[in-house]
């Protein structure tokens, strides 16, 4: 099996390539520097030239607030470029795994969203990722769409690194407490994606570490596990206004994973513990 991974410069793409290499699977990871997704002809030339059996499409425009003003670029990368990759996969008969997001849902109430629940993104980023999903479904008869949330990995910026930095020398912090979801460790997610790629159990899936929390609860657990004497005080979203509206409910049902016979990811607390160990081994930098 030959696997092409887009978004190698990001948290998830980096760990997917690491997981593939650990399994001795032939792969190549492409980052933005050498793979401009908006140059459709160049992308087609590269992918058809390398002829992968599987494309794991991790690359995306993920600057959620910036997307509110860079709407065209966000749509171009997340929707149009995804359609282009789907068409290439169709033409060369390659499997496609498209990474999507909890932001495709309206983020209201407290129910766990099923994979087929009504969509209703509240910001440009979510709309562009939903358009990417729809492009994949329009072009391909068989595909993997995997929605993830609150991603963190060793390679790049994330909430955990931000909290560890903010907490230095502090005894208290206020963090948003009315947005609830599930953190996702890219090491765990990468294993699942590689497991999926080896099967023909196509479909739409939700994949995040088990359990739910608010951002405030997540932050408190970070400080507790890192043994930092910081007390977190939850506040409403209105205390930290952002350009893009964030969903307050990012709970996603894992029923589709269960039905397809894929293992759920470990708890987010366990994932955080392993991540902090990995971060410490890297000297807190990566």
Residues with active-site annotation: 125
Classify strands 213-214 and 180-181 as parallel, antiparallel or unpaired: antiparallel
How many other C-beta atoms lie within 10 A of the C-beta of residue 33? 8
Please state, in angstroms and rounded to a whole number, the distance separating the CA atoms of residues 260 and 206.
Answer: 12
Measuring CA to CA, which residue among 220, 145, 158 is closest to residue 184? 158
Please count the other Cβ atoms lying within 10 Å of the Cβ belonging to residue 282: 10
What distance in Å separates the CA atoms of residue 110 and residue 249, rounded to the nearest whole number?
Answer: 6
In whole angstroms, give the CA distance from residue 159 to residue 265: 19
Identify each DSSP E strand in 7-43 by its residue range. 26-30
Q: Which residues contact 187 (CB under 8 A, 6 or more apart)?
A: 15, 19, 153, 154, 271, 274, 275, 278
CA atoms of 178 and 234, how far apart (whole Å):
8
Sign of the torsion angle spanned by Cα atoms 131, 19, 221, 157: negative
CA–CA gap between residue 144 and residue 179 (Å, rounded): 27
Instruction: Give the relative orientation of helices 186-197 and 11-22 as an angle to the nearest 10 degrees.
Output: 60
Instruction: Please state at what angle helix 81-92 crosses helix 40-50, rounded to 10 degrees.
Output: 30
CA distance linking residue 194 with residue 192, whole number of Å: 5
């Amino acid at each position: 099996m030959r696997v092409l991974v887009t978004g190698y410069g990001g948290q998830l793409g980096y760990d997917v390539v690491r997981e593939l290499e650990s399994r001795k699977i032939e792969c190549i990871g492409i980052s933005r520097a050498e793979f401009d997704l908006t140059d459709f002809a160049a992308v087609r030339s590269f992918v058809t030239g390398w002829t992968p059996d599987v494309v794991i499409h991790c690359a995306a425009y993920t600057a959620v607030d910036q997307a509110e003003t860079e709407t065209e670029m966000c749509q171009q990368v997340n929707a149009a470029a995804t359609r282009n990759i789907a068409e290439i996969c169709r033409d060369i008969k390659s499997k496609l795994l498209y990474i999507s997001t909890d932001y495709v849902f309206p983020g209201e109430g407290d129910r766990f969203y099923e994979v087929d629940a009504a969509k209703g993104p509240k910001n440009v980023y979510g709309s562009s990722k939903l358009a990417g999903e729809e492009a994949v479904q329009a072009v391909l008869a068989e595909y993997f769409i995997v929605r993830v949330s609150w991603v963190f990995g060793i390679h790049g910026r994330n909430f955990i690194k931000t909290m560890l930095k903010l907490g230095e020398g502090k005894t208290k912090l206020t963090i948003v407490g009315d947005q609830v979801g599930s953190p996702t460790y890219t090491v765990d997610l990468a294993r699942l994606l590689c497991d999926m790629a080896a099967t023909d159990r196509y479909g739409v899936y939700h994949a995040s570490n088990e359990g739910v929390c608010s951002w405030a609860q997540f932050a408190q657990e970070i400080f507790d596990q890192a043994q930092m004497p910081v007390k977190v005080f939850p506040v409403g979203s209105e205390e930290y206004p952002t350009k893009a509206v964030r969903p307050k409910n990012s709970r996603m049902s894992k029923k589709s994973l269960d039905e397809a016979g894929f293992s759920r990811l470990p708890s987010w607390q366990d994932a955080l513990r392993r991540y902090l160990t990995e971060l410490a081994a890297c000297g807190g930098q990566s």
